[in-house]
Chain A
Amino acid sequence: MPETPAIRTEKLSKRFGELAAVDELSLAIPAGELFGLVGSDGAGKSTTLRMLTGIMDPTAGEVFVLGEDMRRAGEGVRSQLGYMSQRFGLYPDLTVQENLRFYADIQMIPRRGREARIAELLEFGKLTPFKDRPAGKLSGGMKQKLGLACALVHRPRVLFLDEPTNGVDPVSRRDFWRILYGLLAEGVTVFVATAYLDEAERCGRVGLMHRGRLLACDTPKNLRGILKGGVLELATADPRHAVRALSGAFPGGSVVLFGERLHLFAPDPQEAEARARSVLEAQGLEVAVRPVQPTLEDLLVSLLREQG
């Protein structure tokens, strides 16, 4: 018999009046996976997380976590879930350590072993030197790490994260992902909602969500395979000048700067190459062109364009 998925939804839907915030979402996530739900603001990610954690009832469809129906889940399964929402409730006047103790109380962690667990989490998030600092005086990146530590105080088996690195600097984002990989190594299932496509590339599997619907769901590698058309990399002496010149000829976000190179996404790469060359030559710019592997962002852009 196959193992029960850690998370499973069947045509999960949530309506708010006329708006289908989540529209027939079906997912199966095996235990120990790092799953990324990717979409922009308003795509339905947070609503999905609220239903997965049992905070909100679905309008229709089914939702199971660790085999339990979340529509009538009891404390048993909830105590095995961790959830870090976008506005995670840290108490700014309490110190780092006091916040962790507070969450340990809420989760009813027995006194015995509690201080050891807190020390372990402080170490894990590199927060030990700041344990006596009020949470309100932490940097954005450290607040996120403390939020994560609080969500982990009871050793959950499934962890839900809602845009954990939104607005956090790149160094802290990198640290945060290292912590997530550490959890995976311990067998925790991690479900992360993010708007950053470069973060989605790091997930085992990715669901691309838009206006309540799942557009595609697979490994990053397989997702890249479904892209219709190709991506050309253009190298010129003046990439910023080139991107401005080309954005008129290829509207709708087909041209982007990728470091010092340009990426041009085109349904017909041959035709696009000829047209791009003529635009750039008219500007007196020489260009070298080669096909490259598309990114998840290229794929999402092309799927969204198909949607119109």
Chain B
Amino acid sequence: MPEPQPQAAATAPPLPPAVVLRELTRRFGDFTAVNRVSLEVTRGEIFGFLGPNGAGKSTTIRMLCGILPPTSGSGSVAGFDIASQSEQIKKQIGYMSQKFSLYEDLTVEENIDFYSGIYRIPGAKKRERKEWVIEMAGLADRRGARTATLSGGWKQRLALGCAILHEPPIVFLDEPTSGVDPVSRRSFWELIYRLAGAGVTIFVTTHYLEEAECCDRLGFIFGGELIALGSPAELKKGFPGEIVALECERPFEVLKRVEALPGVRQATLFGAGLHLTVDRAETLIPALREALPDLEVHLERIAPSLEDLFVSFMEARTG
């Protein structure tokens, strides 16, 4: 029996947070993959879980999905304990990874039917959900196409549709946009906004820091430890120093020259230009102009990007 939908009455008890981690730890032999991570994700939030490869992101997600038991600490998803109630959790969550688990030899419709079977979607609902996925993924003209012939962006939207056929209130996305073109990546985020707008909680990992900007809150994990947690704006307020963006031709040649200037703590390539981490932009901008008289440069103080921020976190950790 499906649970009755909670009423939005003032008397209804508040729902538990979507995801709770308390000192969650996982060791493999003498290697600590996830080290005492604590955080909470509220209902309807888009939570971005960031960190380099091998930092512990996937291990954390596997524990939250009830696939891997924690070594110590605890966690809950939709109010169910990850160590003892993994079967209940599986009904509450959708999971999609970078390796879309679609059957390449099956058609679009056959893949959807297959997942409807796995999630035991009742017959009456099956058709409605199938049409919903096809509409959402923009696959109306391709329902009979073999999945292998779809482009990366279509496969990705189909995989998302299959992962949420059973209308889970919480969705885990593990690097869902890895390797797809920017149009598909942007369309994918439009789908994520639609889901979040409908109250679904999204827990997403990504390597693209511009995608991280789209999240309500972020957690940054490094070497198994959570080293930063907050909204993008809150995190940026904690950035040590100020950032000056320098636009010029052939920035790599300018890099060495500006690095040597007093007051420049760090200079890094950023897109087509450089980002300089400085103590005070106000005094440094005129000094830079003076130091680079032979170059046509555009200098501007900007808010730090998430990339600037995470580079500073990682450098603080690794020395």
Contacts and interface: CB of A to CB of B under 8 A. Distances in A.
Interface stretch (A24-32, A77-85, A252-260): A252-260
B132 interface: no
Contacts of A247: 189-190, 193
Contacts of A40: 152, 179-182, 184
A295 B315 CA distance: 28
A43 B179 CA distance: 10
B142 to A, nearest CB: 14
A195 B179 contact: yes
Nearest to B222: A169
A179 B315 CA distance: 18
A287 to B, nearest CB: 17
Contacts of A274: none
A164 to B, nearest CB: 14
Chain B interface, DSSP helix/strand/loop, else mixed: helix
B52 A169 contact: yes
Given A41-B180, A168-B52, A174-B311, A295 B271 contact: yes
Contacts of B272: 201-202, 220
A300 B182 contact: yes
A295 B273 CA distance: 12
Interface in A80-118: none
B183 A140 contact: no
Given A253-B182, A297-B182, A172 B52 contact: yes
B186 interface: yes
A254 B182 CA distance: 11
Contacts of B81: none
Interface string B206-217: 010110011110
Given A169-B53, A170-B209, A300-B181, A177 B186 contact: no
Contact of A174 (B186, B207, B269): B269
A258 B255 CA distance: 24
A289 interface: no
B16 interface: no
Given A39-B181, A202-B271, 6 more contacts: A40-B182, A166-B179, A170-B310, A202-B252, A247-B189, A253-B186
28 contacts: A40-B152, A139-B54, A140-B53, A169-B51, A170-B314, A172-B52, A174-B268, A178-B255, A181-B255, A195-B179, A201-B272, A202-B269, A202-B272, A243-B193, A243-B214, A247-B193, A251-B190, A252-B186, A253-B185, A253-B186, A257-B210, A257-B213, A259-B213, A260-B213, A260-B233, A260-B236, A297-B182, A304-B181
